[in-house]
Amino acid sequence: MEYVSTSKAPAAIGPYSQAIKAGDFLYASGQIPINPENGEIEATTIADQADRVCRNIGEILSAAGTDYEHVVKTTCFLAEMSDFGAFNAVYEKYFVGKPARSCVAVKQLPRDVLCEVEVVAYLGN
């Protein structure tokens, strides 16, 4: 098992890792739309927050030596299911390989953000 960490994505805001390599897989913790440069949530719309989340995920994938094409599963959390369409419009620009996915609405997310995404990526050939 190997921990993955990068300053190009937000540091964990609790007792967990950004990601862990275990065998042929990378398990990345949920990302929220924090700007890693200043620790702030600057985006206010679901589209802008989803874009920041996806860019944060991209940095973690890169730090682990992989990319979006190797993501096999995502779990997406939305504060409002009414944001589903706008969220998907951003999501599909990054996850073009169409990994398996779950998407649920939740009562509340950390720092009152609109979305959070976690990923599992395959690191093998």
Would residue 115 show up in a list of annotated catalytic residues for this protein? no
Distance CA 89, CA 84 (A): 9
Q: Which of the residues 54, 76, 103, 115 is marked catalytic?
A: 103
Kindly state the tokens that stand for 6: 């990068």
CB-facing half-sphere around the CA of 121: CA atoms within 13 A: 26
Closest CA to 32 of 123, 46, 22: 46
Residues 43-75 as b/e (b if ≥16 CB within 10 A, e otherwise) read: beebbebbbbbbbbbbbbbebbebebebbeebe
Place of tokens 């779990």: 75
Residues catalogued as catalytic: 103
